[in-house]
Amino acid sequence: MLPCPKRAFSHFGDCWKWLGANHTMDFVSVTAVTISGILIFTAIQAQDFPDVEGDKAVGRMTFPIYAPELSRLLTLFATVAWSVFLSWFWGVGPISAAVFTSFGIHVGLRYYCWRTLEADKKSYLIFNVRSHAHSFWHTPKRRC
């Protein structure tokens, strides 16, 4: 579980490097980085499903190996919850919110219902498209 917080703190560090020594992050920037870190922490197991056999072979203990049912249930819940929350938080509008929430439900159900290696690979691909589409679609309100 160590890589999750490490990745979130790395995300903050990268933002500070981009800003330089004389700049501060505004509210929107801090909020976006914080939400990204929490999102990564709650959804990182999605990348582990396609490689369960490889992880077992090298003795790596990932969440899907340690708790296969719970990890899939958490992924279902997280993708739906994050889709709803992010759509509301960034104010993307009802049509976009419905699209993203539907996409989140679809991805979450794929992870929960279809559990083969090929299905997990495709679910991970769709999961990433959904995650990136959400970040490109919204335009946060400026606070100046």
Give a yes or no: residue 99 inside a domain. yes
Give a yes or no: residue 144 inside a domain. no
Low pLDDT (below 70) residues in the chain? 1-23, 130-144
Give a yes or no: residue 142 inside a domain. no
Give a yes or no: residue 30 inside a domain. yes
Give a yes or no: residue 143 inside a domain. no
Q: Identify the domain containing residue 110 by its residue range.
A: 3-137
pLDDT, tens digit, for every residue of 76-117? 999 999 999 999 998 999 999 999 899 899 999 999 999 999
Q: How far apart are CA 45 and CA 14, in angstroms?
A: 23
Give a yes or no: residue 52 inside a domain. yes
Q: What's the total number of domains in the chain?
A: 1
For all residues of the chain together, what is the average pLDDT? 81
Contacts of 69 (CB under 8 A, 6+ apart): none
